[in-house]
A and B are shown apart, each in its own frame.
Chain A
Amino acid sequence: MSELAIELSQVTKRFGPKVAVNAVSLAIPQGQVYGLIGPNGAGKTTAFSMMCGFLHPTAGTLQVMGVPPTTPGALKGKLGALPQDALLPAGWEVGELLTYWARLSGLPQPEREARENLEKVGLAEAWFTPTEALSHGMAKRTAMAQALMGQPPLVLLDEPTAGLDPRIAAHVRQLIRDMKGRQTVVVSSHNLQELEELCDAAAILDRGTLVKAGTMSELTGQGAEFRVQIARGEVIPPELTQLPGVTSAKMESPGVLLVRFDGQAHKPEEVISRTVAHLLQTGVLILGVSRGQKLEERVLQIL
C-alpha cells in the first residue's frame, strides 16, 4: 500500500488567460482517503478532472495508478469517478444505463453489479425511472452508484454530498468510510467537517496553487499542538517551554493556553500529561484540553 495512486508533478492548467491550476505537485498514496480542500475557484474540480483524464494539463505530468490518465483505455477498471458537473444522459432508465456502463467496464455480471450498487446508494426503487425524471439528489446518487460499480481500486468523488439531504449525505459518508483501507478514495468537498471526519490526508488549494498538503493530523496540528482551557490561576508560559518536548506556549486568548510541541520526538499524551501536571502543581485549574484545531479553523487561518 506504499505505492502512489496519484502523482501530480508541477501540473498547470490554463483556460485562455485564466490559470486554474498553477504548478501543483501532489502525491496520494494508495489505500488512503484523501481530501481536496479549497474555496470556490481554488482549482479542485480542475485538478480532479485532470486526474480523471477529462482535461489535459497545460504543463507538468500526471500519473494515475501508474499511467497518464489521458492514455486511451489505461484507467479502465482501475478508476471510478463521480464528476461534479456531468449530467446523466437522457433517454435511459436508470437500471439499463447502469447495466450498460457496467458492461462497458467489462464487469462479469453487469446487471447484478448495477442492482447492488443502486441498492448501496438507497435507490433500488429507481431501476425503471427515466434519467430525465430524477431529482438532483437521485441523479447524484445514481452517479455515485456508477462510480462504485466493480469496486475499482481508485475512486474519485467530486462533491459527493453536495445537494443531498442530511440523511442521504450521512449514508454517502458511510459508503466512503466502508471503502477506507480497501480502495483509494479522493474526495473534493466544501464541507470541511465531513473531510476532517473521513480523510486520512488532504491538500488545500487556493486560487490554483497548493497551499498545504499533509496528513489530517498534520493539517489540524493534532500531532504538534494542544489547547488548555484555563478556569482559574496564573499561567507562566516561559515555565512551560522548559518542559521536555514543548517548543512554545502562549495565551492565545483570555482563558486559552496554546502549547506547541515537537510531535516527531515526543508522544502527544506524554507532553500533554506533563503540561497539565505542571499547571495543576502551580495552582492552575483546568476546564479542558483539546488537541490541534478544527480543520475548518485551520483552513480559514491558512486561506
Chain B
Amino acid sequence: MPGTLDGLKEIAVIWSAETLRAVRSARTLVLLGLYTLFSLATLLVVAALISSASGSMVLTQELTEIPPVILGVFKVNLFFLPVYVALMGFDQISGEVGTRSIRYITVRARLSSLLLGKFLVQASLLVGLVLVIDVGIFLYARYSHPNFTLSAMALSLVKVWLATLVFSLAYVALTTFCSSLFRSSGLSLVFNFALVIGFLLMELVGWYYKDKSFIEYIRYLSPSYYSSDLLSPVLSEFGRSGLTYAGITLLFLGGAYGVLRARDL
C-alpha cells in the first residue's frame, strides 16, 4: 500500500511539473493553435455543406438531439485527432531515452509513474483543448439553431466531449507506446503515423470486403471502428464502446510499460 501511494504521488509530481513545462513550450502552443484553426475550418466547411444540402445528411434517429453540424465536425475530428495526438506526444518518451535524460528520472521514480505521468500530461492538454473547441462549436450551433435549448446543449456538449476524450485517450496511449519503442523521436513519429494510416486502411478494407470475404473482420483491429457508438443515446452502447476504448488504452499503455521495462535506458 505505501508503494502504491508513493507511486500515485510520483505520477502527480510528474504530471504537474511536465504539464507546466508543456503549456509553456512553443510547440504545444503552435499545435493548439493549428488544432483550433483546423476545427474552425472543419466547422465552416461542414456548416456550408449542410446548409447547401439541407436535410440530405443521413443521421440515425437517436442522434437528432445533436445538430448535424456538430456531428459532422465530430466525425471529421475523429480522422485527424490521431495525427494531432501523434504530433503532440511522439517524443514524450523517445525524446528522454534518446538524450538519456530519462536516467535522471528513473533513479527517483518508477517507470510506470513516468509513463502514466507523461500519458496524463498529453491527456490533460487534450481534455482542456477539446473542451474549449467543443464549447466554441456548440456556441455556434446554438447561434445557428435557436431552438437548440440550453439544457440540450449542455447535455450534448458533455456527450461529445466525453466521446472525443474516450476516443483520443486510446490514441494518446498508442503514441506513448510508439514513443517507447524507439530512441529516435523521428522514428517514433513515422511509426506512429504508419500505425494510424494502417488502422485507417484496415477499416476501409474491412468495409470494402463486408459480406464478401473473411477479410472484412480486419476492421475489428482498427480502434476507430468502435467509434460509431460513442454518441449513441443508448447508454449500454456508449458504455460498450467506451469500455473497448479503455481496453485499447490499457493495451497500449501495458505494451509501452513492457517495452520500457525490458529495454536498456
Contacts and interface: CB of A to CB of B under 8 A. Distances in A.
A101 B104 contact: yes
B96 interface: yes
Nearest to B95: A89
Nearest to A83: B103
B14 A104 contact: yes
A229 to B, nearest CB: 48
Given A89-B101, A100-B17, A106-B6, A54 B96 contact: no
B107 A80 contact: yes
A106 B103 CA distance: 17
A53 B111 CA distance: 11
A167 to B, nearest CB: 26
- Counting chain B residues whose Cβ lies within 8 A of the other chain, the interface size class is 20 to 34
A104 B108 contact: yes
Contact of A86 (B17, B100, B108): B100
Given A89-B101, A103-B13, A81 B107 contact: yes
Q: Max chain A CB contacts within 10 Å: which of B9, B14, B265? A: B265
Given A56-B264, A103-B13, A75 B107 contact: yes
Nearest to A99: B17
Given A73-B7, A91-B21, A55 B108 contact: no
A143 B100 CA distance: 13
B24 A91 contact: yes
Given A76-B109, A92-B21, A54 B103 contact: yes
A79 interface: yes
Contact of B108 (A76, A87, A91): A76
A76 B111 CA distance: 12
A183 interface: no
B24 A53 contact: no
B146 interface: no
Given A72-B112, A73-B7, A104-B14, A87 B107 contact: no
A72 to B, nearest CB: 4
Residue from B104, B261, B265 whose CB has the most chain A CB atoms within 10 Å:
B104
Contacts of B103: 52, 54, 81, 83, 86
B104 A86 contact: yes
Contacts of B7: 73
B108 A88 contact: no
B99 A87 contact: yes
Interface hub of B9, B25, B106, B110 (most chain A Cβ within 10 A)? B106
A146 interface: yes
A269 interface: no
Contact of A53 (B6, B14, B106): B106
B10 interface: yes
A105 B108 contact: yes
A104 B106 contact: no
Contact of A106 (B9, B99, B106, B110): B9
Nearest to A92: B21
A278 B107 CA distance: 58
A92 B262 CA distance: 29
Contacts of B111: 72
Given A73-B109, A76-B108, A91-B24, A86 B14 contact: no
A282 B24 CA distance: 82
A37 B115 CA distance: 35
B105 interface: yes
B262 to A, nearest CB: 8
Contact of B107 (A55, A56, A79): A79
Nearest to A149: B108
A85 interface: yes
B23 to A, nearest CB: 11
A104 B102 CA distance: 13
Nearest to A91: B21
A54 B264 contact: yes
Contact of A87 (B9, B14, B101, B110): B101
B38 to A, nearest CB: 25
Given A91-B24, A104-B13, A73 B107 contact: no
B21 A104 contact: no
A105 B13 CA distance: 10
Contacts of B10: 104
A146 B107 CA distance: 11
B128 interface: no
24 contacts: A52-B103, A54-B100, A54-B264, A54-B265, A72-B111, A73-B6, A76-B108, A80-B107, A81-B103, A81-B107, A83-B104, A86-B100, A86-B101, A87-B99, A87-B100, A89-B96, A89-B101, A101-B105, A103-B17, A104-B14, A104-B108, A104-B109, A106-B9, A106-B108
**8 interchain residue pairs of minimum CB distance:** A86-B100, A72-B110, A87-B99, A100-B17, A89-B101, A73-B110, A105-B108, A86-B103
Given A91-B21, A106-B108, 13 more contacts: A54-B265, A73-B7, A75-B107, A76-B6, A85-B100, A91-B25, A101-B105, A103-B17, A104-B10, A104-B14, A104-B17, A105-B108, A143-B104
Interface of B: 3, 6-7, 9-10, 13-14, 17, 21, 24-25, 96, 99-112, 261-262, 264-265
